[in-house]
Amino acid sequence: MTEAVSFQQEFKVKGGDFSRGGEASCEIKNLLRDLGLDPQLVRRAAIACYEAEMNIIMYAWQGQLDLLVTPHRIRIIAEDKGPGIADIKQAMREGYSTATPEMRELGFGAGMGLANIKKNTDTFRITSKVGRGTRLELTIKTNGRKA
Amino acid sequence: MKLAEVIKRLDLKVFAGAKDLTRTVGGGYAGDLLSDVMAHGQKDHLWVTVQVHPNIIAVAVLKELAGIVLVNGREPAPETAEKAKEKGVPLIGTRLSAYEFAGRLYGMGIKRE
Ligand SMILES: Nc1ncnc2c1ncn2[C@@H]1O[C@H](COP(=O)(O)OP(=O)(O)O)[C@@H](O)[C@H]1O
Ligand SMILES: [Mg+2]
C-alpha cells in the first residue's frame, strides 16, 4: 500500500467464544467514530465487522479482524484458521447456513451474514481453503469524509 | 417520543440501562434473527424480540438502537442485564406479545421505519 496509513489495529477473535460476541466490532466501531468518520460509514463498517466476527466465533477455531484506515478507505481483513468453506457460492446465498440448532435457537444462522457484509462494503473478496481457513478482504470508501 | 414516556405509557419494566431513558424512540423493529436486525434495524429504533441472551446487547450497541424490549414477560439472562448496564443499553420488558406491543407503539404514533 502506498497510501498513508492513519490507523491500524488487530483484534483477536476466539472460535466458540460467544460470551465476547461482538466485542471486537464494538471496539472497531468506537475507534472509527473517534477518528471522526462519517456516522453512516461507521455503521456500515460495524455491520460488516459484526458478521465477520460472528462467523469466526461460530465456525472457526481462531481468527482476527485487522483494521486499517487510510485517508480514503476503511479496510478490514477478517482471517481465520478453521474448516474453511467448500462452496463459496452456496455460502453466499441468502438463507444458506450450517449453524447448529443451538446457535439457531439464539437467533444466529439466518444465512444473511456474508450477504450483509457484501451489501455494506464497496469491495468484497472472499477466499477459503477447506481444512485451513477463510479470509475476507473488505473495503469501504471514505474519500476523506468526516462527520 | 422519549423512551421514558413510552415506558410510562405502556407500563413497561426496566431491567437495565435506566440511566439512558432520555433517548428518543424513532421507530421500531421486531425480529428474533440477529442478522435480520443487523440488516434492517435502524438507529433509534426500539428492538422488539424474544431473545434474552447476552449477544443481543452488542447488536443494540452496533446499530445504535434506542433499546431492547423483551416480550411475552420474558426475563433477561443475568449476564444480559449486566452487559446492558455496562454498555448503557436500555433493556425493557412487557407482558404483551411482539404483535400486541408493536401495535401499541404504532398506535402511539411511533411509526417511522
Ligand atoms: N469463517 C467461516 N469459516 C467457515 N465457514 C464459514 C465462515 N463464514 C461463513 N461460513 C459458512 O457460510 C455459511 C453462511 O454464512 P453467513 O452468510 O454468515 O450465514 P450464517 O452465519 O447465518 O450461517 C455458514 O453457515 C457457514 O457454513
Ligand atoms: Mg454468519
| pLDDT band per the 50, 70, 90 thresholds, residue B113 | low
Given a cut of 80, whether residue B102 has pLDDT beyond it is yes
Domain that includes residue A65, residue range: 7-141
Integer Cα distance of B10 and A62 in angstroms = 44
**Does A106 contact B at CB distance below 8 Å?**
yes
Q: How many CB atoms lie within 10 A of CB A59?
A: 20
Domain count, chain A: 1
Residue type, B96: L
Let me know how long chain A is: 147
In a domain, A1, yes or no: no
How would DSSP label each residue in A55-109? HHHHH-SEEEEEEEE-SSEEEEEEEEESS--S-HHHHHSTT-----HHHHHTT--
- Residue labelled with grid coordinates 452488542: B58
CATH of B3-107, one of 2.40.50.140, 2.60.40.1930, 3.10.20.30, 3.40.1390.20: 3.40.1390.20
Q: According to the model, what pLDDT value does residue A2 have?
A: 56
Q: Is residue A106 part of a domain?
A: yes
Which residue in this structure is represented by grid cell 462527520? A147
Q: Is residue A2 part of a domain?
A: no
Cα B55 to Cα A70, A73, A140: the distances in Å are 31, 29, 26
Task: Break chain B down into helix, strand, coil percent, rounded to 5.
Answer: 40, 20, 40
Model confidence pLDDT, tens digit, residues A69-114: 999 999 999 999 999 999 999 999 999 999 999 999 999 999 999 9
Q: What is the pLDDT of residues B44-75, one digit of tens each?
A: 999 999 999 999 999 999 999 999 999 999 99
Q: Which residues lie across from A79 on neighbouring strands? A: A64, A135
Count other C-beta atoms under 10 Å from residue B22's C-beta: 9
For residue B31, how many other CB atoms are within 10 A of its CB?
20
Instruction: Give the whole-number percent of chain B exceeding pLDDT 70.
Output: 98
Closest Cβ opposite residue A116 in set B38, B57, B87? B38
CATH number for position A22: 3.30.565.10
Q: Where are the domains of chain B?
A: 3-107
Pocket test residue of A25, A50, A57, A58 for ligand 1, highest count of atoms within 8 A of CB: A58
Q: What is the pLDDT of residues B13-56, one digit of tens each?
A: 999 999 989 999 999 999 999 999 999 999 999 999 999 999 99
Residues of B in contact with A112 (CB under 8 A): 33, 35-36, 38-39
What ipTM score was computed for the predicted complex, to two decimals? 0.95
**pLDDT at residue A65 greater than cutoff 80:** yes
CA distance A138 to A117: 8
A25-51 per-position pLDDT tens digit = 999 999 999 999 999 999 999 999 999
A127 lines ligand 1 (CB under 6 A): no
Size of interface A-B (CB pairs under 8 A): 68
